[in-house]
Structure 1
Amino acid sequence: MSILIALIPALAWGSVGIVTTKMGGTAAQGTLGMTFGALVFGLVSLFGYVLPNFGAEFAFNPRIWLVGFVSGLFWAVGTAGQFVAFKKLGVSVGNPLSTAGQIVANALMAAAVLGEWTTAKMWFFGLISIVLVAGGAVLTALPDPKQKKESQAEKTAYASGFTALIISTIGYMMYFVFPNLLSKLGFISEAVRSEPNGSGLAYMTSIVGPQSLGQVIGAFVVVIFFMKEGHQMFEAGTWRNMTTGLVWALGNIFMFISAANPQVGQATATTLSQLGVLVGTFGGIYILGEKKTKRQMVYIVIGAFLVVLGAIMISNLGKL
């Protein structure tokens, strides 16, 4: 059951690129609209779940609020970069490349910094699984060498798209790892982190409310000062993309629940969440109509198989 819950983020997050493309608007409007939807979900979870179940000690804990808020700022950077990449590269290309970067960064950070891989055998098979997942994700994005050469404009778009993906990967890495890192460093006490009964459910669900505020504020900063699109922040595309935010928020809360669960852990939870690459890749092709050649479809099928194989391996490292 723990693994099934950990797969919910894959379904939700894999759908984000598809939903935001269907909703329309610019990358900035997608970023803002998504944070507005996430804010609605975050406040509902804070007052409808955390406060009645765990009390004000968790719902309004200043240290939890600081951790959640900063995590939300990192997320805003990651999401803005990802939406720019989706616009430049397409969902079926941007999604697997974004996935590859996140898997490598998050799993290694969780293993090396958070100490979740404790034996040489876990490291050996963990690194193999990362190579499989990352390699499979990259394979899904390979172009067909027989296709016509790209124009200079297309090359420029790809270059800016790849730059956005690098920024996005850094932002998402810190968003994922930051709550557990602060616990590891002692800023969040073990007593708070483990409630109730060692599951970590209280801490991780308490983060979601303040995190959503950090997401909104971070999105405003990114959109106004870096994307330079403050003049069209509140147009129709932004409000439509609130749906994207609600879809994302569903995956978010289950991601943090899984990361806090000792039976799953940070490295496994983040890796399983990235199986959304299958939803995003095939959804981009069959739902959004992004064109692929027969050769590319072969790459995609092989890549999807490697992603699933690597994810299965990494989700079972705790048994070694």
Structure 2
Amino acid sequence: MITDTLFLKIYYVIIQCCEYFLNNCEGDIMSILIALIPALAWGSVGLVTTKMGGTAAQGTLGMTFGSLVFGLLTLCVFVIPNSGMSFAFNPRIWLVGFVSGIFWAVGTAGQFVGYKKLGVSIGQPLSTAGQIIGNALLAAIVLGEWQTGHMWLFGTIAIIAVGLGAVLTALPDSAQPGTASANHEAKSGAIAILISTLGYMLYFIFPNLLNKVGYITDHVHNQNKGLDYMTAIVGPQSIGQVLGALVIVIFFMKEGKTMFEKGTWRNMVTGLVWGLGNVFMFISAANPNVGQAIAATLSQTGVIVGTFGAIFLLKEKKTPRQMVYIAIGSVLVVVGAILIAKL
């Protein structure tokens, strides 16, 4: 009980600090540091779910249970006390959050299948590259966040650098004979990553897109510099994640009989880690000093955490040539992140 109370206090202080910096700091350093928290959290997700064990279905469902805990915690501890009941339970916000959560469930299920078939050190970089390119371009084109030639030039260079860097970290050594295990199914793994990428793209852009088309008014969207709206969607989003995951696990993955075994409950830890990154991702997307295109790209620099963590913690083996690729790729990811942060 003491531990739970302490966790609640720490969580509340973190959110309050972010609100303070969003309201009082023009700059840029603190905004970028906050935008990098999802990279650390999400970069660890593949490592945590692999350590927790279980099937891809159990990982997906356990993660949604953990994110549900985190989402309801955000609703009760931050949104209701700061924005009031009427804002916290605005039906339009709940619909946006719920649908965004469904898209996320599709993305996560595909990603976990990809991890199981390709390995974390290959699946995560490929997923990252697709998300970086898709999310940044959607935000730039559909949401109109890049409005000058300078932003398009350096934004495009940054996307190419981060995407190429992510691909390099996953590049196999062509000089080595294939030693694929029965689980290492490249084709089906790549298809799973593609589906995952599409799901994540829609999950990222949906909350701001609904404001762009007028379903969410500017008054609601921009309240408290967007912080209230972006934190309010996290609760209903987590409910959509759970329901979406249940449908996918039961009807598509056909693992209804094993979905409540130990692997699922252990992966609630994965969901808590992911939930932390999710809150800060949407806080950063709402921050006018950052925006969705930059926030989405910076969040994907977690590929460095995931790749090196898989090598040193999960003991995924790499040849010397692959380590050179990974080193070059990591440098490109960092350079791209710095470029996009400058936008």
Shorter-chain TM-score tier: over 0.9
**Residues 138-287 of structure 1: matches in 2 within 5 Å?**
138-150=167-179, 157-196=185-224, 199-287=225-313
Amino acid at match of 2:32: I
Give distance in 2, aligned partners of 1:82 and 1:260.
26
What is the aligned partner in structure 2 of residue 298 from structure 1? 324
Give distance in 2, aligned partners of 1:49 and 1:117.
31
Out of 14, 24, 29, the residue aligned to residue 58 of structure 2 is: 29
Deviations 1:127-180 (A, max 9, x none): 11111110010001111111113569577x011110000000000000000000
**Residues 44-55 of structure 1: matches in 2 within 5 Å?**
44-55=73-84
Deviations 1:92-127 (A, max 9, x none): 111111100000000000000000000122111111
TM-score for the superposition, normalised by structure 1 = 0.96
**Residues 112-131 of structure 1: matches in 2 within 5 Å?**
112-131=141-160
What is the aligned partner in structure 1 of residue 114 from structure 2? 85
Out of 303, 312, 315, the residue aligned to residue 338 of structure 2 is: 312
TM-score for the superposition, normalised by structure 2 = 0.90
Give distance in 1, aligned partners of 2:202 and 2:180.
35
Give distance in 2, aligned partners of 1:91 and 1:130.
22
Give distance in 2, aligned partners of 1:257 and 1:39.
18
Contact 2:116 2:183 in 1 (8 A): no
Give distance in 1, aligned partners of 2:54 and 2:288.
40
Give distance in 2, aligned partners of 1:154 and 1:273.
29
Amino acid at match of 2:280: F
Give distance in 2, aligned partners of 1:273 and 1:58.
27
Deviations 1:249-273 (A, max 9, x none): 0000000000000000000000000
Deviations 1:9-34 (A, max 9, x none): 00000000000000000000000000
What is the aligned partner in structure 2 of residue 108 from structure 1? 137
Task: Give yes or no for the alignment of 1:12 onto 2:41.
Answer: yes
Cα distance, 1:57 vs. partner?
2.2
Give distance in 1, aligned partners of 2:76 and 2:300.
29
Amino acid at match of 2:220: V
Amino acid at match of 1:170: L
Alignment size in residue pairs: 314
Give distance in 2, aligned partners of 1:152 and 1:233.
25
**RMSD across aligned C-alpha pairs, in angstroms?**
1.1
Equivalent position SS for 1:117: coil
Amino acid at match of 1:280: G
Equivalent position SS for 1:187: coil
Give distance in 2, aligned partners of 1:50 and 1:149.
52
Give distance in 2, aligned partners of 1:175 and 1:187.
16
Cα distance, 1:316 vs. partner?
1.3
Give distance in 2, aligned partners of 1:216 and 1:27.
15
Give distance in 2, aligned partners of 1:92 and 1:241.
19
Cα distance, 1:297 vs. partner?
0.2
Structure 2 unmatched ranges of 5 or more: 1-29
Out of 61, 68, 76, the residue aligned to residue 90 of structure 2 is: 61
Give distance in 1, aligned partners of 2:51 and 2:42.
15
Percent of paired sites with the same residue: 72
Give distance in 2, aligned partners of 1:37 and 1:154.
27
Structure 1 unmatched ranges of 5 or more: none
Contact 2:35 2:281 in 1 (8 A): yes
Give distance in 1, aligned partners of 2:329 and 2:205.
26
